[in-house]
Amino acid sequence: MIKNKISVKKVERAMNTNIAEQINNGSTILGIEMGSTRIKAVLIGTDNTPIASGGFGWENTLKDGIWTYSLDEVRDGVKSGYASLLNDIKEKYSVNLTKVKAIGISGMMHGYLVFDKSGNQLTPFRTWRNNITGMASRELTELLNYPIPQRWSIAHLYQSVLNGEQHVGEIDYITTLAGYVHWKLTGKKVMGIGEASGMFPIDLEKKDFNSTLADKFDIHIKGNGYGWKLKDILPKVLVAGENGGILSTEGARLLDPKGNLSSGIPLCPPEGDAGTGMVATNSVSLRTGNISAGTSVFAMLVLEKELSRVHPEIDLVTTPDGNLVGMAHSNNCTSDYDAWISLFGQAAGALGLDVSTPVLYDTLLNLALNGDSDCGGLMSYGYISGEHITGFSEGRPLFVRSPDSRFTLENFIRTQLFTSLCALRTGLNVLMDEEDVKVDEIRGHGGFFKTHEVGQKIMAAATNTPVSVLETAGEGGSWGIALLASYMVRENRDKSLQAFLEQIFAGSMGEAVKPDPADAEGFQLFFDRYHKGLAIEAAAVDSCQ
């Protein structure tokens, strides 16, 4: 036994020495993603697996009716996430990070960040969470004959036009969160095609913004007399594998104010969390799909052909290498049940019990598997914000039960999980039922899947599709964008992104959990009850101002 322990320690020391050498010689790769509640930085080694990570927690602010983050928060958050990574590296390998082979930047998709010619921000950042562009979304969808969701940058821009907002005429550049940070690091106004496809429609053949639709937009707003054309203020579109610029001296200081990080490092095109989620789950080939479930939840199915007609519920975006994806997006997922679990933790504390957060989550979420298949007649709406798929511009979280419902803890927790996926299922029904989109397996990642088996089983029931989860997907989009940076500096320039990922993921895919027929039937009953009860949510919005 003692010899085995000594052997294990020798192997660990040898591995750490090898990793330390990789860090010292600059052969590692850095990925940073700015999610809704956490900024995460991950460092990957020469085998493309994570070797260190760091993070910084943050929250959006509801200011003057707008969900936002200040740019000071963005810059400070990125610095803090990177500093946390440096501490992890120092603790594990006793070395300092001064150079890397490549860097990738990712962030929550969509939203509205606009700047004038001097680089001054013209209006506070409007995130994907804002459902304030309903009129713009409807008019643009009709004008362009293309689904334009409320979250998209073009919807925010056009709503500002409709509102007569003074800043619109001064716009010189419009971008997203990932595009902004990339711009500050490199000076380049570029965007990965996956993120770009959530700003304005893409021409799939040219791998660029659709010029015909851009011209149509320009003609439509010509009477306003703005001095810009749409394509002049949008970023340049790049596909996976292309160079997005190099880290400037100023950019290196933004990441590392202590001055240890070298400039001149190449960056891949910035991407959104949808694209990095596809990469982190190896879901870029046809008939694959992935679901990212955390603060929001979205499913992306890589399409074999274009949809038969425009569906306002569905985003048409692309993979990072430019293939068409049907995306069903729900603004609300785990936030409300996070709040409930926090409340149960407070109750435990009031009783003198010291329960760690992981134990609290695992204990409570596992109870959901013992609840009635349809949650015993309970109902909940976790609408922290509005939900476009079901027609809500605002939300009011609420829990509802009838006198004869089976009000047990197991059913309550199961209700929180089921309801977090009902808006998503509404969108998936459009793809799977109306458009007959085929998907062999859905690969999941995000906080929803952290408790072993629970997230997979509930998601399989909600989608009626086998669901697998990769262990490495726990690193999420920060790992995904690091892989895209690695792909940019690959040795074999002819290797496609799909082939590159297949080599990395070979043998690492966990076994898919198939939907239990009883769970799937129970979810369908719950789903039907959910839609019948939306009038309750509407009344809550109207009554609780």
The tens digit of pLDDT for each residue in 100-146 reads: 999 999 999 999 999 999 999 999 999 988 889 999 999 999 999 99
Whether 150 has a pLDDT exceeding 80, the answer reads yes
Residues in the chain: 545
DSSP 169: G
Cα separation, 327 vs 322, in Å, equals 14
Least confident of 1-10, 392-401, 485-494: 1-10
Closest CA to 136 of 153, 155, 149: 155
For the chain, how long is the longest CA-to-CA vector?
Answer: 81
Of residues 87 and 452, more confidently modeled: 87
User: Given strand 288-293, what is the order of strands in its sheet?
Assistant: 314-318, 324-330, 297-302, 288-293, 441-445, 467-469
Q: Based on the number of CB atoms within 10 Å of its own CB, is 71 exposed (0-12), middle (13-18) or buried (19 or more)?
A: middle
Residue 10 binned pLDDT confidence (cut-offs 50, 70, 90): very low
* Domains of the chain, CATH where assigned: 278-330+424-514 (3.30.420.40), 335-423+518-543 (no CATH)
Least confident of 167-181, 287-301, 425-439: 287-301
Q: For helices 153-162 and 134-144, what crossing angle results, to 10°?
A: 110
Number of H helices, E strands in the chain: 19, 21
Closest CA to 175 of 159, 161, 162, 156: 156
Whether 414 has a pLDDT exceeding 50, the answer reads yes
Whether 155 has a pLDDT exceeding 60, the answer reads yes
Residue 241 binned pLDDT confidence (cut-offs 50, 70, 90): very high
Token pair for 328: 């069903």
Which distant-in-sequence residues (6+ apart) come within 8 Å of 492 by Cβ? none
3-state secondary structure of 253: helix
Cα separation, 70 vs 63, in Å, equals 10
Whether 7 has a pLDDT exceeding 90, the answer reads no
Alpha helix positions (H), 352-408: 357-367
Which distant-in-sequence residues (6+ apart) come within 8 Å of 190 by Cβ? 179, 182, 235, 236, 237, 238, 244, 245, 269, 270
How many Cα neighbours within 13 Å face the side chain of 382? 27
Query: What confidence score (pLDDT) does residue 445 get?
Result: 80
3-state secondary structure of 459: helix
User: Given strand 38-44, what is the order of strands in its sheet?
Assistant: 50-57, 38-44, 29-34, 102-107, 271-272
Closest CA to 49 of 505, 518, 520, 510: 505
Cα separation, 384 vs 392, in Å, equals 11
Whether 148 has a pLDDT exceeding 60, the answer reads yes
Question: What is the Cα Rg of the chain in Å?
Answer: 23
Mean pLDDT of the region 209-219: 98
